[in-house]
Structure 1
């Protein structure tokens, strides 16, 4: 049984998610409002891609080498018995975080079985839990099943970037979308809410629209399942 997945994001009206050079007026209160809604959604975990999670890293990479061989099965770090959890998708084991928690939440990394034992030793040293979802390519549906079964995650907040958002939506794994639309036009070709093609395009059903301070709109959609 997979968790209920709510994609929670903030963007300009044209979908840009990196607020570079945005007017101060467009940013006033946006981050606080985003975090307020994040907390109100009461997720058991939040999930981001590798590039987004790398922003939480502390210090220079400290890779390890080991002669030990680790089984390709879930490893739960000490102190990670309960959430909410911070989850990163890292197919090839490129993340070097040097921390066990992000925003105060225990870390879990989703890997493929091809990741080296050296990297698994590094994750264990840093107190980062990990799961495997696929031999060489990620099976996101399998990852969700494991997170539900082994970490009791039943409500997951998907919070970007655009690549992982698009992969989840393309795989029909998003149930709802919580979008905060900031009153700014960007036009920057950089990272956006969805950065890869969704085939076929997904139909959405509007659930609610709430105007927040500063002209920000909080829009809730349900993703309509294909028949």
Structure 2
């Protein structure tokens, strides 16, 4: 895929030293979250993208009403706003997020769907002012989605922030350009919990990396930056 037709992708995460990413129970200092936000801000990204489960706390809870209209809604992209300063993007193939509004802290919301979602749900998103893009009929084509984000919203740089399966799917598709990890001073030791990249069972789609920089940050965090070798 021509990188000029899609955003530059930086995967930015806070894993434990053994690669786990569920931070609950780690007892990290407050400075760790502040460091994550500070380092993320240095990239100048215009958007961030996460999966449905990770987005649920941000989306909120609202009711999806039944439509009175009988006319079907065409499966074409809906752009509620295309000139926002920044965007919050959710990968939600089945349309399960019940958005309370079309923004998160003044960042315009874009949700990525498959064509299997209901007309009721599409009408709900339009009423909430949430932009939506279709990434495929039954499964998401990430390359297609990224091209739309660049073309329709002008997004040139994008932070990929999990979870593990979403990160893994981008890795497998060769769509990550840079990896930025704030290595937490924690040995998790969990089995079966999400890791930094969960692409598939067995041997994964290994990608070679080149170290760009390393820096000690507050709270004993180690900030490592890598470029993905092509």
TM interval, shorter chain, is over 0.9
1:124-146 Cα deviation digits (max 9, x unpaired) = 11110001111111000000000
**Which residue in 1 is equivalent to 2:23?**
19
1 CA distance for matches of 2:60 and 2:79?
A: 21
Compute the TM-score of the two structures, normalised by the length of structure 2: 0.91
Q: Is the 8 A contact 2:64 2:98 kept in 1?
A: yes
In the alignment, is residue 205 of structure 1 matched against residue 207 of structure 2?
no
Compute the TM-score of the two structures, normalised by the length of structure 1: 0.92
**Which residue in 2 is equivalent to 1:94?**
96
**Which residue in 1 is equivalent to 2:44?**
42
CA RMSD of aligned residues (A): 1.5
1 CA distance for matches of 2:42 and 2:49?
A: 16
**Which residue in 2 is equivalent to 1:2?**
6
Gap regions ≥5 residues in structure 2: none
**Which residue in 2 is equivalent to 1:76?**
79
**Which residue in 2 is equivalent to 1:192?**
195
1 CA distance for matches of 2:48 and 2:105?
A: 11
**Which residue in 2 is equivalent to 1:214?**
219
1:107-152 Cα deviation digits (max 9, x unpaired) = 0001112211111011111110001111111000000000000000
Mean Cα deviation higher: 143-152 or 88-97: 88-97
2 CA distance for matches of 1:21 and 1:140?
A: 32
Q: Is the 8 A contact 1:68 1:117 kept in 2?
A: no
Q: Is the 8 A contact 2:11 2:167 kept in 1?
A: yes
Q: Is the 8 A contact 1:177 1:223 kept in 2?
A: yes
